[in-house]
Amino acid sequence: MNNPVFLRACRGQSVEHVPVWFMRQAGRSLPEYRALRGTGSILDAIADPVIASEVTMQPVRRYGVDAAILFSDIVVPYHAIDFGVDVVPGRGPVIAEPFRGTNDLARLRDLTALDVAHVTQTVDLVVKELEESNTPLIGFAGAPFTVASYLVEGSPTRDFAIIKGLMHQDPTLFQQLLERLVDITISFLRFQVDHGARALQIFDSWAGSLTRDEYQRFALPATCAVIDGLIDLGVPTILFGVGTGELLDLMATAGSTVVGIDWHVDLDQGRRRVGPKPVQGNLDPARCLSGEKLGVEAAREVLVRAGTDAGHIFNLGHGVLPDTDPAVLEAIVRVVHEEGRAGVQ
């Protein structure tokens, strides 16, 4: 594969236009996705490589984005090793028997390539289809702390009381849990690269629930270990969290190539906090719900705050909301490509 604009921006190189893709670009906002998926658990669709590859490709064809992201979910490897995970429509990941003690460590066995053969088959199909357009595929996984939040809490939470209790009451057990998650995460991401993924995103979606001290003690070391386990692959890595504005300087030390910035921090301020490292972001997804004109205005605001220094990948500050009109995202892609310049001398 040649050196596409997305990968060059990830490495802080000059680009002819700012690259753009959207988190959750494949999903409920697309009528073609709804027609294909129907009802049922997202895990059923992910288990079918033909469906999963088609869903991955739908936004690339419609929007002309500069990268595809694998249609998957951060709980897929834990479903694959039979930890008892399901994704319930309207609720999200639900764990039948949440992690509670030392005995549960054995349930987090090593992940094998056979366990996630359906995922790597999807990667194979997508990479083959992307070859002609020279569009890279982004693989992804959940960061250890965020995955631990689901496994310990048993379902999405707003207060994180159970996992914070475990962190502080039994830090040794919590560290053992994270060590198992680090190993599984590294394996899952390496399998995706082995089959052709050209970049990786690590979602630490719930890191923003932590204080700076908690993040340094309980989350950052495990994230560093994951990224360190991928360095030899030579592919860019993106670290992203929600509500992490006060953690950006710490996240920048994790070793990722790029730091994703959510919409709670203006991008110029976010770039200062991250320092001399490429960034990704950070249009508020809600700004895309009020029509094409306002969505484009919001995108231009992000481009202005990003400046013209090299190393900016345009994205939303979180995933595409289900009620987003695809025409708004199409218009945003056009504007970013036509008006976004980064590092061009």
Q: Is 75 in contact with 156 (CB distance < 8 Å)?
A: no
Nearest in space to 324 (alpha carbons), one of 46, 123, 10, 63: 63
For residue 250, the tally of other CB atoms under 10 A from its CB is 18
Return d(Cα 51, Cα 43) in angstroms, integer: 11
Asked whether residue 148 is domain-assigned, the answer is yes
Tokens of 30: 């697309």
Asked whether residue 304 is domain-assigned, the answer is yes
Per-residue pLDDT of the chain (345 residues; tens, 9 = 90+): 589 999 999 999 999 999 999 999 998 899 999 889 877 789 999 999 999 999 999 999 999 999 999 999 999 999 999 999 999 887 889 999 999 999 999 999 999 999 999 999 999 999 999 999 999 999 999 999 999 999 999 998 999 999 999 999 999 999 999 999 999 999 999 999 999 999 999 999 999 999 999 999 999 999 999 999 999 999 999 999 999 999 999 999 999 999 999 999 999 999 999 999 999 999 999 999 999 999 999 999 999 999 999 999 999 999 999 999 999 999 999 999 999 987 654
**pTM of the predicted model as reported, rounded to 2 decimal places:** 0.96
- Residue carrying structure tokens 């059923």: 44
Q: Please give the residue range of the domain that contains residue 101.
A: 5-339
Asked whether residue 345 is domain-assigned, the answer is no
Q: Is 18 in contact with 342 (CB distance < 8 Å)?
A: yes
Q: Looking at the 3D structure of the chain, how many domains does it have? A: 1
Asked whether residue 172 is domain-assigned, the answer is yes
Asked whether residue 344 is domain-assigned, the answer is no
Q: Is 190 in contact with 227 (CB distance < 8 Å)?
A: no
Residues marked active site are found at 24, 28, 37, 73, 150
CATH value at residue 197? 3.20.20.210
Tokens of 279: 């960034």
